Amino acid sequence: MRQVLVCRDDELKDGAVRLVREGDLELGVFRSDGQLYAYRNHCPHQGGPACEGTRQPQIVDVIDGEGFFRGQRYDEGDMHIVCPWHGYEYHMKTGEHVCDPRFRLQKFEVVARNGEIYVCI
């Protein structure tokens, strides 16, 4: 397994993504809540550039004790990657589609070492 330099650690702020190309492979490297994640920039739905989409937290319905809908809130602990082509959403932590686990972004290991970020391919 080869390690490819992404950037200096201080160049990837929390909530940001850095696109990296290595040959024919394009990856999105994310920092979310202090953790690093890397995925192939390819949506399994129809091949869209998933890593170029927005990042947003899970939207959760608020239901009261009697079963009535009382609004919605964000779950900041469950960030999603949203493909810009058709809005398919994937969990940042796993790359798995939020509704259909058969769809999953291809995940890569990320290593932070000596003030630099590397992705293992």
Give dist(CA 118, CA 109) in Å, integer. 9
* Structural domains of the chain ordered from first start: 3-120 (2.102.10.10)
pLDDT tens string 88-104? 999 999 999 999 988 99
pLDDT tens string 9-53? 999 999 999 999 999 999 999 999 999 999 999 999 999 999 999
Q: Give how far Cα 64 sits from Cα of 29, 70, 76, 79, Å.
A: 38, 7, 20, 24
Could you identify the residue written with the tokens 């390819």?
42
pLDDT given at position 65: 96
pLDDT given at position 98: 95
- Cβ atoms of 117 and 9 closer than 8 Å: yes
Q: Give how far Cα 50 sits from Cα of 2, 8, 62, 68, 116, Å.
A: 23, 23, 29, 35, 24
pLDDT tens string 65-81? 999 999 999 999 999 99
Question: Is the pLDDT reported for residue 1 higher than 90?
Answer: no
- The model's pTM is 0.91
